[in-house]
Amino acid sequence: TKFVYDFTEGNRDLKDLLGGKGANLAEMTNLGLPVPPGFTITTEACKTYLGSGEEPAALRDEVSAHLEALEAAMGKKLGQADDPLLVSVRSGAKFSMPGMMDTVLNIGLSDKSVQGLAKQAGDDRFAWDSYRRLIQMFGKTVLGVDGELFEDALDAAKTAKKVTVDTELEAADLKKLVTKFKRIVKTEAGRDFPQDPREQMDLAIHAVFDSWNTDRAKLYRRQERIPHDLGTAVNVCSMVFGNLGPDSGTGVAFTRDPASGHQGVYGDYLQNAQGEDVVAGIRNTVPLAELETIDKKSYDQLMQIMETLENHYKDLCDIEFTIERGQLWMLQTRVGKRTAGAAFRIATQLVDQGLIDEAEALQRVTGAQLAQLMFPRFDDQAKVDQIGRGIAASPGAAVGKAVFDSYTAIKWSRSGEKVILIRRETNPDDLDGMIAAEGILTSRGGKTSHAAVVARGMGKTCVCGAEELEVDTKRRRMTAPGGVVIEEGDVVSIDGSTGKVYLGEVPVVPSPVVEYFEGRMHAGADDADELVAAVHRIMAYADRVRRLRVRANADNAEDALRARRFGAQGIGLCRTEHMFLGDRRELVERLILADTEAEREDSLKELLPLQKRDFVELFEAMDGLPVTIRLLDPPLHEFLPDVTELSVRVALAESRGDANENDLRLLQAVHRLHEQNPMLGLRGVRLGLVIPGLFTMQVRAIAEAAAERKNAKGDPRAEIMIPLVGTVQELEIVREEADQVIAEVQAAAGTNLRLAIGTMIELPRAALTAGQIAEAAEFFSFGTNDLTQTVWGFSRDDVEASFFTAYLEKGIFGVSPFETIDKDGVGSLVKSAVEAGRATRPDLKLGVCGEHGGDPESVHFFHEVGLDYVSCSPFRIPVARLEAGRAAS
Ligand code: PEP
Ligand code: MG
């Protein structure tokens, strides 16, 4: 194997081998763009090194050969005393990875060659500054010296000289600093800073290899699900200098606006500076457009190159460049990050420019981006007073009064106030407060902190880790930079999509994308509608190519109508238990507690017309489209009074000597029905089998409602779904009774209602015996919420708020399996159940109605295993449509 590729030998398709940076440097080189010569050491070399602790035997010679070629091309040798070739050593994995070593610049400088560099450049200061940077970067990233020691020494030098910026230090000062830095290295690393340039280079290469396995890098990979065995490439590139005077400089640029997608000149330039100065914000950059007046020749060349890159990559690119004494050099390019809105606009702009086709446009956007565009957001015309910025942990725009503890959050929200719960960090005790709040703000913790995980789970706006805000929960106040104090009750606004925190109320505007889906806004030509027009076109394309149908989880006509406007092709799950809440709860209580058949019949008779009305409305809203109605599922205790409250009431009454007969009876029943694990108890089909008449009442309501709609010339398409089935026998019993009722209703109505009966697959046993169950089911709908709960043994109501944070932090999974389907475990059960079910009944209809039905990654999985449809909450329907299209194209 070949372990080293010259930049002229690689190309952009070799990312596995050369990493992203190396592959793109090679691509630019081959395009004839001015890239400083260099070479890339492959990820294969890294893997061998990490596996055996030693670099591959051939590597040293290969590096030598490439270095010699580089030296010949540049006309000077690495570290040559009178005129040194200097190189940078940079890491570059297939996926860009924070937490890995990035760059060591100026390799090749030594006590001797620093003099040569000074002479060649005619600039002492420059040479000594480059040398001190090398010792600093090398000391920190290669030798593991605490970086602050160098920073402190630099600060001390500035203070001694009474100056504030680095550039005011002169050659003599920097020379002294070099001595100091070398001393730091010696004491801290226990060795001298290496004077041999090749040793410098080799050590830096090994350090890049080793950085693949730092704790931070490993954690990042676990969370992002990047395989651990990819390894990183190493780029060795000849140095060019942007800090050689006013005719030099460095900059970054985008080939088009990453916020709007508009073509134009976007970027920043810093004269007389090296790359890290731009990032460090040492001096103010100027807009890239100003380069035209500073150095017209380089500017024109850069514009030309940007056009070449866009046409070549057929996408927005970002680039880093350096100008050394009037000569432009390209240091990096990659396909650039962009906002969600820009992703849609750019995709359609590129189609219009003829650069990509519609299938490709669909791959350029994601459901997550669409979801982001569907949150309400702050009016960007509004005047704002930003007081801080944290991590955008859970999107949305929330406004409310600042409260600093959960108790106050609950109390205030009960009295109708909107509140933002502000904590240093949250823990499970804050749960009720988080529920009560409009949004959550913390000053500590990252994307996987408790606040972030729980808020995302609740769909609540959250900004976390806003470290510049000092939260003092004891004194109920928060201090922002500049001494601004926010007391309890002061209004704050938080933006969960940007992480920004504002003082006062920022007006919220509805999402134009939602307005469009709702039909309140049309895809016009006017500039404000540009985004909507782009979304419109991409959605139309997704709908054209997708195979999966998309249905809604909806229990009432209002939700059903909204879902339909959002593009739902039916209802995949109507949870009938939601129809038994409120006033009707008492009727159910009576049904459950009925002692005699007559009593039971009575309450069923009262429930029937209510249920029927519900269904008529639903069929009307979804006329012509399938509506899957699930028979009653939840645990019984949800319909009964709380056991503790009732016990207290009865005990008090007894002590007063006026215990009432009904309460006693109720208490007995509540005790009798109490379960330790209600989610594993009397739910779903079990309930239907135990309470006579319950399921048949529901089936009758469905059948009669369908008959009524038919009479009214409607087109009802009802499907009856039995929940929590574990064995075909359960289903057979329910089916038999249901068929009889349906036959009766059909006979009475004189029409064929064509009601399909199917089941949920939401228990491992159901999945494992899917072949048998399909004998009695015309369709399966995978209930991946319960299936995840039972396959993992995770209580779906508890774990996300308890130990999931720890699991996410340890990287056991990157995302909750309740959010994204666990392909290896739950997913493989789904897959085998699909196969077994279809083997029994080839025309078995297959869908999914757990939360995963609206999750982008899961939708792709469901497409792959061959489901017919996914069903999700109305708001997620556009996301599911888009992802189904992306999966199919
Ligand atoms: C499921 O379990 O995935 C499901 C859709 O049913 P529910 O969430 O109502 O239990
Ligand atoms: Mg379920």
Question: What is 437-463 written as a DSSP string?
Answer: SSEEEESS--TTSHHHHHHHHHT-EEE
Query: For position 281, what pLDDT does the model report?
Result: 54
The response to whether 783 counts as a known ligand-binding position is yes
For residue range 1-24, list pLDDT tens digits in order. 899 999 999 999 999 999 999 999
- Are residues 261 and 306 both part of a single domain? yes
Higher pLDDT, 712 or 594: 712
861 CA → ligand 2 middle, Å: 20
Burial of 159 (0-12, 13-18, 19+ CB in 10 A): exposed
- Number of Cβ within a 10 Å radius of residue 533: 18
Give the pLDDT band (50/70/90) at residue 642: confident
What would the two tokens of residue 779 be?
Answer: 């369709």
Q: Give residue 422's domain range.
A: 375-509
**In this structure, is residue 427 part of a structural domain?**
yes
In order, the DSSP letters of 130-167 are HHHHHHHHIIIIIT---HHHHHHHHHHHHHHHT-SSGG
C-alpha–C-alpha distance, residues 614 and 704, integer Å: 11
- Are residues 807 and 869 both part of a single domain? yes
- Are residues 185 and 256 both part of a single domain? no
Which residue's alpha carbon is at the smallest distance from atom 10 of ligand 1?
786
Higher pLDDT, 661 or 750: 750
In order, the DSSP letters of 709-769 are HHHTT---EEEEEE-S--SHHHHHHHHHHHHHHHHHHHHHHTS----EEEEEE-SHHHHHT
Which residue's alpha carbon is at the smallest distance from atom 1 of ligand 1?
783
Query: Could you identify the residue written with the tokens 């999107």?
Result: 395
Query: For position 646, what pLDDT does the model report?
Result: 87
Which residue's alpha carbon is at the smallest distance from atom 8 of ligand 1?
785
Of ligand 1's listed atoms, the one at least distance from the Cα of 723 is: 6
Q: Which of 553, 573, 722 to mutate to test the pocket of ligand 1 (most atoms within 8 A of CB)?
A: 573
431 CA → ligand 1 middle, Å: 23
Helices 113-121 and 124-137, packing angle to 10 deg = 140
**In this structure, is residue 678 part of a structural domain?**
no
- Are residues 211 and 329 both part of a single domain? no
The response to whether 786 counts as a known ligand-binding position is yes
767 CA → ligand 1 middle, Å: 15
Question: What is the mean pLDDT of the segment spanning 277-289?
Answer: 72
Query: Could you identify the residue written with the tokens 């909107």?
Result: 418
Give how far Cα 62 sits from Cα of 2, 67, 175, 556, Å: 8, 8, 36, 70
Question: What is the mean pLDDT of the segment spanning 588-611?
Answer: 90
Ligand nearest to the CA of 553: 1
C-alpha–C-alpha distance, residues 39 and 92, integer Å: 12
What would the two tokens of residue 471 be?
Answer: 């939260």
For residue 715, pLDDT beyond 60: yes
C-alpha–C-alpha distance, residues 73 and 67, integer Å: 10
What ipTM, to 2 d.p.?
0.99
- Secondary structure of 10-45 as H, E, C letters: CCHHHHHHHHHHHHHHHHHHHCCCCCCCEEEECHHH
For residue range 789-816, list pLDDT tens digits in order. 999 999 988 887 778 878 877 878 878 8
Of the given ranges (241-250, 252-261, 788-797), which has the lowest mean pLDDT?
A: 252-261
Which residue's alpha carbon is at the smallest distance from atom 3 of ligand 1?
783
Give how far Cα 440 sits from Cα of 391, 574, 758, Å: 12, 32, 42
C-alpha–C-alpha distance, residues 163 and 150, integer Å: 17
C-alpha–C-alpha distance, residues 310 and 316, integer Å: 6
**In this structure, is residue 49 part of a structural domain?**
yes
- Number of Cβ within a 10 Å radius of residue 699: 27
For residue range 347-358, list pLDDT tens digits in order. 999 999 999 999
Cross-strand partners of 397: 495
Name the nearest CA neighbour of 175 among 126, 141, 139: 126
For residue 522, pLDDT beyond 80: no
**In this structure, is residue 670 part of a structural domain?**
no
Could you say which of 203, 238, 273 is where a domain stops?
238
Could you say which of 238, 262, 290 is where a domain stops?
238
Higher pLDDT, 262 or 109: 109
- Are residues 258 and 228 both part of a single domain? no
Q: Which residues are catalytic, by number?
A: 450, 849
- Are residues 838 and 865 both part of a single domain? yes
CATH of the domain at 411: 3.50.30.10
C-alpha–C-alpha distance, residues 135 and 109, integer Å: 9
Of ligand 1's listed atoms, the one at least distance from the Cα of 633 is: 9
C-alpha–C-alpha distance, residues 795 and 676, integer Å: 13
C-alpha–C-alpha distance, residues 767 and 832, integer Å: 8
Q: What are phi and psi of 294, to 5 degrees?
A: -75, -45
**In this structure, is residue 214 part of a structural domain?**
yes
Look up the pTM and report it. 0.85
**In this structure, is residue 853 part of a structural domain?**
yes
- Are residues 818 and 744 both part of a single domain? yes
> Amino acid identity, residue 25?
L
CATH of the domain at 816: 3.20.20.60
For residue range 679-697, list pLDDT tens digits in order. 899 999 999 999 999 999 9
848 CA → ligand 1 middle, Å: 10
Q: What are phi and psi of 39, to 5 degrees?
A: -150, 165
C-alpha–C-alpha distance, residues 427 and 470, integer Å: 18
Name the nearest CA neighbour of 386 among 508, 494, 488, 465: 494
Of ligand 1's listed atoms, the one at least distance from the Cα of 789 is: 2
724 CA → ligand 2 middle, Å: 7
Its sign, for the CA torsion 141, 145, 146, 148, is negative
Ligand nearest to the CA of 784: 1
CATH of the domain at 203: 3.30.1490.20
Mean pLDDT for the chain overall: 92
- Are residues 226 and 268 both part of a single domain? no
For residue 289, pLDDT beyond 90: yes
C-alpha–C-alpha distance, residues 886 and 832, integer Å: 24
For residue 527, pLDDT beyond 60: no
Q: What are phi and psi of 420, to 5 degrees?
A: -110, 125
For residue range 304-314, list pLDDT tens digits in order. 999 999 999 99
Provide the domain count of the chain: 4
Instruction: With H, G, I as helix, E, B as strand and everything else as coil, classify residue 102.
Output: coil
- Are residues 234 and 310 both part of a single domain? no
Query: For position 278, what pLDDT does the model report?
Result: 63
498 CA → ligand 2 middle, Å: 35
Give the pLDDT band (50/70/90) at residue 187: very high
Per the CB < 8 A criterion, the answer to whether 336 and 253 are in contact is: no
676 CA → ligand 2 middle, Å: 18
> Amino acid identity, residue 644?
T
In order, the DSSP letters of 229-257 are T--EEEEEEE---S-SSTT-EEEEEEEE-
Work out the percent of the chain whose per-residue pLDDT is above 90: 74
805 CA → ligand 1 middle, Å: 23
Let me know how long the chain is: 889
DSSP E strands in 371-483: the ranges are: 377-378, 386-389, 391-394, 397-403, 419-423, 439-442, 461-464, 470-472, 477-480
> Amino acid identity, residue 321?
F
Question: What is the mean pLDDT of the segment spanning 360-376?
Answer: 93
For residue range 379-407, list pLDDT tens digits in order. 988 999 999 999 888 888 999 999 999 99
Q: Which of 555, 578, 633, 869 to mutate to test the pocket of ligand 1 (most atoms within 8 A of CB)?
A: 633
Query: For position 525, what pLDDT does the model report?
Result: 47
C-alpha–C-alpha distance, residues 715 and 626, integer Å: 10
The response to whether 750 counts as a known ligand-binding position is no
Which residue's alpha carbon is at the smallest distance from atom 4 of ligand 1?
783
8-state DSSP, 192? P
Query: For position 808, what pLDDT does the model report?
Result: 79
Of ligand 1's listed atoms, the one at least distance from the Cα of 762 is: 2
Pocket, ligand 1, Cβ cutoff 6 A? 573, 575, 633, 762, 783-786, 849-850
Of ligand 1's listed atoms, the one at least distance from the Cα of 577 is: 9
For residue range 29-69, list pLDDT tens digits in order. 999 999 999 999 999 999 999 999 899 999 999 999 999 99
C-alpha–C-alpha distance, residues 775 and 752, integer Å: 22
C-alpha–C-alpha distance, residues 196 and 204, integer Å: 12
- Are residues 69 and 212 both part of a single domain? yes
> Amino acid identity, residue 651?
A
C-alpha–C-alpha distance, residues 371 and 514, integer Å: 10
Element (H, E) at 346: helix 340-352
For residue 219, pLDDT beyond 80: no
Which residue's alpha carbon is at the smallest distance from atom 9 of ligand 1?
575
The response to whether 133 counts as a known ligand-binding position is no
789 CA → ligand 2 middle, Å: 9
For residue range 164-182, list pLDDT tens digits in order. 887 789 999 999 999 999 9
Q: Which of 579, 581, 630, 785 to mutate to test the pocket of ligand 1 (most atoms within 8 A of CB)?
A: 785
C-alpha–C-alpha distance, residues 518 and 512, integer Å: 10
For residue 526, pLDDT beyond 60: no
Give the pLDDT band (50/70/90) at residue 704: very high
C-alpha–C-alpha distance, residues 386 and 494, integer Å: 10
b/e code 260-299 from CB counts within 10 Å (16+ = b): bbebebbbbbbbbbbbebbeeeeeebbebeebeeebeebb
Instruction: With H, G, I as helix, E, B as strand and everything else as coil, classify residue 645.
Output: helix
Question: What is the mean pLDDT of the segment spanning 848-872?
Answer: 97
Of ligand 1's listed atoms, the one at least distance from the Cα of 785 is: 3
Question: CA-based diameter of the chain, in Å?
Answer: 107
- Are residues 840 and 784 both part of a single domain? yes
Q: What are phi and psi of 626, to 5 degrees?
A: -65, 140
Ligand nearest to the CA of 638: 1
Instruction: With H, G, I as helix, E, B as strand and everything else as coil, classify residue 398.
Output: strand
Work out the percent of the chain whose per-residue pLDDT is above 70: 98
First to last CA, the chain: 36
**In this structure, is residue 243 part of a structural domain?**
no
789 CA → ligand 1 middle, Å: 10
C-alpha–C-alpha distance, residues 298 and 316, integer Å: 21
Of ligand 1's listed atoms, the one at least distance from the Cα of 781 is: 5
For residue 143, pLDDT beyond 70: yes
Per the CB < 8 A criterion, the answer to whether 878 and 539 are in contact is: yes
- Are residues 253 and 228 both part of a single domain? no
Of ligand 1's listed atoms, the one at least distance from the Cα of 850 is: 3
Could you say which of 270, 304, 335 is where a domain stops?
335
Ligand nearest to the CA of 818: 1
Per the CB < 8 A criterion, the answer to whether 768 and 658 are in contact is: no
Ligand nearest to the CA of 573: 1
C-alpha–C-alpha distance, residues 524 and 536, integer Å: 10
The response to whether 30 counts as a known ligand-binding position is no
**In this structure, is residue 656 part of a structural domain?**
no
Ligand nearest to the CA of 685: 2
